[in-house]
Amino acid sequence: MEMTQLLQKIFERVFAPGHPAGAAEQDALLHQAVDHLVQRIDPGLCALGDYQARLRPAVELALEHIDGIVEAVPEGFVCSRRNYLQDRRVNAFFVSPDHLSEVFSASRELRDLFQADAALEQAWGLLCMRRRQQRRLGMGLLGDTLVRDLAQQVVSFGKHQLLSPGEDLAAARKALKCCIFNNLLDYIKTGLVTGSDDRAANFGGGGGDNGGASPSAIAFRAPVRAMPLRQRLQRVVEGLRQPQRFVRLRQLELRLDRMGVMQEAADVDRLLEPLRLSEIEIAGRGARVAALVAVRREDLLPAQDMARNAEIFLAM
């Protein structure tokens, strides 16, 4: 069984409410997961007779942590051109309806999903964005008085990316769990081989010399080319046992007007419902706002429009 298929089955059978899999099935699935992990990270670990016993609890802990994070992401919503003006989340995330179409049309996985099933009109995925907050002077209300040059906090969203599209919300959640776990494995492997964390950029991207990584994460990825086999096993176990060092979730509430200006809660409690957002951080590479969204086929740009946009971009 291929790794992603195995992980999806584990999240579906082992960690789903009620634990549908019996003890024997759970044991078999997790045993396979450990073997796949070893082949992916460091096949030499198979030479150690106790690698299964050492890795199994750590793998289970990491999977459980990731499952909890993804399940904590709020229920999804339809993110379409039609509800751009009605849904404040869609309005906040995108500059315009055309911007929405450009972002979703750029997802090759989403296009392939729609192309594979002509009857599929809607797909789900994880929309990831960078949240930017800037101070500026603008016009606004101070009490009941309209004031010029009022100090304001403006929030915007950029670097949009649609990850792990699936046919329904449950499929998108499972795909996201697999994506995060595979990123964690690649991060651990890269730390063992080179001491770098470039692969973590598949999910997050970042800036600065260490991408904003915490001191503990930097210490973990110290080069270990000459490390003995048993010590390498211990490093893998340590990485899996502390998944919260690599994958974190934070919930936040923002009260924004239609222009992205942050409002004081005391002034707008009765008028402006907060945007409830989730921020996921992987491998210290910087937090990204994450929202489960439904994307409609009708909102994708035709292929010729995508090609024209690419030509314009290359000519700039």
Q: What is the average pLDDT value for the chain, to the nearest integer?
A: 81
pLDDT in tens, 195-204: 444 444 444 4
Q: Percent of the chain beyond pLDDT 70?
A: 75
Coil, strand or helix: which one is 117?
Answer: coil
What is the secondary structure of 158-210 as a DSSP string?
EEEEEEEEESSHHHHHHHHHHHHHHHHHHHHHHHHHTS--GGGGGT----STT
Most confident of 80-89, 97-106, 189-198, 255-264: 97-106
pLDDT in tens, 100-115: 999 999 999 999 999 9
pLDDT surpassing 70 at residue 147: no
- What whole-number distance in Å separates Cα of residue 79 and Cα of residue 169? 13
- What whole-number distance in Å separates Cα of residue 233 and Cα of residue 43? 11
Give the residue-averaged pLDDT of 146-159.
77
Q: Percent of the chain beyond pLDDT 90?
A: 45
pLDDT surpassing 60 at residue 210: no
Those residues with Cβ within 8 angstroms of residue 210's Cβ, 6 or more apart along the chain or in another chain: 218, 284
- Specify the pLDDT at position 266: 53
pLDDT category at 281 given cuts 50, 70, 90 is confident
Query: What is the rounded radius of gyration, in angstroms, for the C-alpha atoms of the chain?
Result: 22
Q: Are 123 and 171 in contact (CB under 8 A)?
A: no
Neighbouring CB atoms inside 10 A of 79's CB total 26
Neighbouring CB atoms inside 10 A of 76's CB total 18
pLDDT category at 1 given cuts 50, 70, 90 is low
Give the residue-averaged pLDDT of 58-79.
93
pLDDT surpassing 70 at residue 222: no
- Specify the pLDDT at position 315: 44
Give the residue-averaged pLDDT of 139-152.
63
pLDDT surpassing 60 at residue 89: yes
Neighbouring CB atoms inside 10 A of 14's CB total 20
